Amino acid sequence: MAAKRFDDVAEKARALEAQAKKLRREARAARTKAYADALVTVFPEVKDMGSAEEVLDFVKGLKPGTGHGTPDVCSALLDDFRLTNDPVRQFLDDVLIRATWDVLPWQFVFDLYRHWFIRNNPSGRCQSRKSLINDVKGIISDYEGWDYSDNPVSVPDEMYVTPEGLIGMYDVFEWKALGFQGPNPSRDYSYHGSKRTRGLVRVGVATSEDATTTDSTNKED
């Protein structure tokens, strides 16, 4: 009975997530139209450009002191375009605010990304693990409260008893504790990996010793 209730919660969470994504897409489309209309008002020459890429190159080239400066609307348009066309950024936007664990091993990040990508872009081609990790490293500084570690860090004890809701939300079966039998079905989603690992780390979790210690026997990355 407890397992069924937990599964029901996970199913409702997925339904709410799908609804939220639809609302975000609609809001994003409305913002993009508003930004585009404002851009044309400030720079009428944009109307004669033949592609979105040409418009974006134009906006990227705007600098203060050109007579118009760089309007906030242009920055907003660039940010919106970057988010819409950058699945890794979309992925991090979706999952980091929901993450329960303080350390996200690279293998978990990749497995989660694959399931997230299939759900959000079923006809697309998911990038490789190495490519994903490089992309995440390149933009993680944009996400306050998170960093990455190339050296193994100690996994907090709490993760072994704390369920990670993202596993259930995106059905990341690779990280479920298959065959677990007990009174608490949420243990299916708690951490069962190595005690030290490389990956994304919530700022303030890793100790200075973790940050400088290497461990050639733990090749999580």
> Locate tokens 């860090």: which residue?
153
**What confidence score (pLDDT) does residue 51 get?**
67
- Write out the two tokens for 124: 């697309």
| Alpha carbon distance 79, 134 (integer Å) | 21
DSSP 3-state assignment of 150?
A: strand
In this predicted model, which residue has the larger pLDDT, 68 or 16? 16
Task: Supply the pTM of this predicted model.
Answer: 0.62
**What confidence score (pLDDT) does residue 216 get?**
35
Q: Check whether 19 has a pLDDT greater than 60.
A: yes
- Write out the two tokens for 128: 């490789």
| Alpha carbon distance 77, 54 (integer Å) | 14
pLDDT digits (tens, 9 = 90+) for 2-16: 555 656 666 776 677
- Write out the two tokens for 77: 């348009």
| Alpha carbon distance 111, 184 (integer Å) | 24
Q: What is the CA radius of gyration of the chain?
A: 21
**What confidence score (pLDDT) does residue 95 get?**
95
In this predicted model, which residue has the larger pLDDT, 61 or 172? 172
Which residues are 148's β-sheet partners?
200
Query: Across residues 156-182, what is the average pLDDT?
Result: 83
> Locate tokens 């709410």: which residue?
16
| Alpha carbon distance 82, 202 (integer Å) | 24
DSSP 3-state assignment of 154?
A: strand
Q: Which residues contact 73 (CB under 8 A, 6 or more apart)?
A: 35, 38, 39, 42
Q: 2-42 and 72-84 are packed helices; what angle lies between their axes, rounded to 10 degrees?
A: 140
- Domains of the chain, residue spans: 2-84, 87-212
8, 30, 11, 29: which is closest to 19 by C-alpha? Answer: 11
Q: Which residues contact 182 (CB under 8 A, 6 or more apart)?
A: none
